[in-house]
A = this chain, B = another copy of it.
Amino acid sequence: MPALNVVPFVSVDNMMRLVHAVGIEAMLVRLAAAIAEDFSRWDAFHKTPRIAAHSPDGVIELMPTSDGHTYGFKYVNGHPKNAAGGRQTVTAFGVLADVGNGYPVLITEMTLLTALRTAATSALAAKALARPGSRTMALIGNGAQAEFQALAFRALLGVDRLRLHDIDPAATAKCLRNLARFGFDLTACASTAEAVRGADIVTTVTADKRNAVILGDNLVGEGMHINAVGGDCPGKTELAPDVLRRAALFVEYEPQTRIEGEIQQLAPDHPVTELWRVLAGSAPGRTEARQVTVFDSVGFAIEDFSALRTVRDLLAEHPYYEDLDLLADPDDPRDLFGMLMRAGPPRLVA
């Protein structure tokens, strides 16, 4: 029986070791499977919109959920100006706990893990919504999330042709460099219009914190699937409203996406379908080849839960973690003070 005071901790270094031990594409497939499994038992989860603390510079959020047996939450920030100071725009860590006794069972970095689970969710949605046989993806926005998206779409859908565009050519160059070893057919494009030409799937994952039209209506061809990842908070969107109006719209958790997603631009009763219904077979996904489908992704707590439990399970086979002495564990639970005193300097005996 493990000591009651310690909690396994996965550092950034150990998360990287874990991903390489499993293999990055295998990891993405495994995450997608866990997310699909948890989305398919949607009603088992206690769902709540994220708890956000907004400030002029950004937001700090807590995203908890529970399936009644296991509880998980993620701490995540979003600070667009961070990159200028050498910091990540988004960093995160997460905790998994046992609902039965309230003790944490895992603490892990989630900056990398969030990038992986976001990409896995995108690919999972596209697998259900894009035209079968989709092989070409336009990747608009070539920042921190781009390569993860690319690999997830290859691992889950077989996408092997990428058309890249970013307003900053250095970002595209970085992306081309990072993806060179993976055998994609890669094309750098000077504009979004050029990038979407011939694309079956368009992924928008830009970082601008405002309502921007990354993808105008004239660029969206029949049968396209749009994976809208970057519009993920109030006042930040990427798609022209006209694109949304002629598409079939799919979301993670409707109450949250109405506030944070692309659909904040539409009437509050504009019809959308929660992705889990498609995965569970209780709602149709794409109904015809000419249809435009949009996955309006904002990131939801259950995806983090799926990611956290996947990491916990992987640690049994790949023990890339340290034990953190996080929990007070007196011999007698009522004797917290005695534990503290016994740890002190030796008492002088008269």
- 9 shortest A-B CB distances, which residue pairs? A77-B102, A147-B337, A11-B325, A111-B328, A16-B343, A144-B336, A83-B333, A143-B334, A20-B344
Q: Is the CB of A53 within 8 A of B71?
A: yes
* Min CB–CB distance A278 → chain B (angstroms): 28
Q: Which stretch in A55-63, A216-224, A308-316 binds the other chain?
A: A55-63
Q: Which of B79, B93, B340 contacts A326 (CB 8 A)?
A: B93
A85 contacts across to B, CB distance below 8 A: 101
Identify the closest chain B residue to A332 (Cβ).
Answer: B174
Are A51 and B53 closer than 8 Å at their CB atoms?
A: no
Chain B residues lying within 8 Å of A289, measured Cβ to Cβ, are: none
Decide: B347 and A88 in contact? CB cutoff 8 A: no
Q: Which of A9-45 contact B (CB under 8 A)?
A: 9, 11-13, 16-17, 19-20, 24
Report the nearest B residue to A342, measured CB to CB: B16
A73 at the interface (CB under 8 A from B): yes
Q: A112-B336, A112-B340 are in contact. Are A79 and B101 (CB under 8 A)?
A: yes
Contacts of A333 in B (CB 8 A): 82-83, 86-89, 144
Kindly list chain B residues whose C-beta atoms are within 8 Å of the C-beta of A174: 332, 334-335, 338
Q: Which residues of B contact A115 (CB under 8 A)?
A: 336-337
- A16-B344, A142-B334 are known; give 9 further A-B pairs, CB within 8 A: A9-B324, A20-B344, A20-B345, A53-B99, A57-B99, A60-B66, A77-B97, A87-B103, A89-B333
CB neighbours (8 Å) of A334 from chain B are 83, 142-144, 171, 174
Identical chains in the assembly = 2
Q: Does A104 contact B (CB under 8 A)?
A: yes
A75 at the B interface (CB under 8 A)? yes
Q: Dominant SS at the A interface?
A: mixed
How many residues does chain A have at the interface if contact means C-beta atoms less than 8 Å apart? Answer: 84
**What 0/1 pattern do residues 93 to 127 of A give for CB contact below 8 A with B?**
10101011111100001011001000000000000
Shortest beta-carbon distance from A169 to chain B in Å: 13
Given the known interface contacts A60-B99, A91-B103, A93-B104, the answer about A326 and B109 at a Cβ–Cβ threshold of 8 Å is: yes
A18 to chain B, nearest CB (A): 11
Contact partners of A17 in chain B: CB under 8 A:
343
Chain B: which residue is nearest A76 at the CB level?
B102
Is A287's CB within 8 Å of the partner chain B? Answer: no
1/0 per residue, CB under 8 A from B, across A165-183: the answer is 0000001001001100100
Pair A53/B57 contact, Cβ less than 8 Å: no
User: Chain B contacts of A266 at CB under 8 A?
Assistant: none
Cβ contacts under 8 Å, A335 to chain B: 144, 174, 178
A-B contact pairs, 25 of them (CB 8 A): A12-B326, A12-B327, A12-B329, A13-B343, A16-B340, A46-B53, A48-B51, A51-B51, A53-B99, A55-B100, A57-B99, A60-B66, A62-B73, A75-B95, A75-B104, A77-B97, A79-B102, A82-B101, A87-B329, A88-B328, A88-B336, A91-B102, A111-B328, A144-B337, A178-B337
A284 CB-CB contact with B under 8 Å: no
- Picked from B87, B111, B328, the residue with its CB within 8 Å of the CB of A12 is B328
A327 and chain B: residue at smallest CB distance: B91
* Residue in B9, B144, B337 whose beta carbon sits within 8 Å of that of A148 in the complex: B337
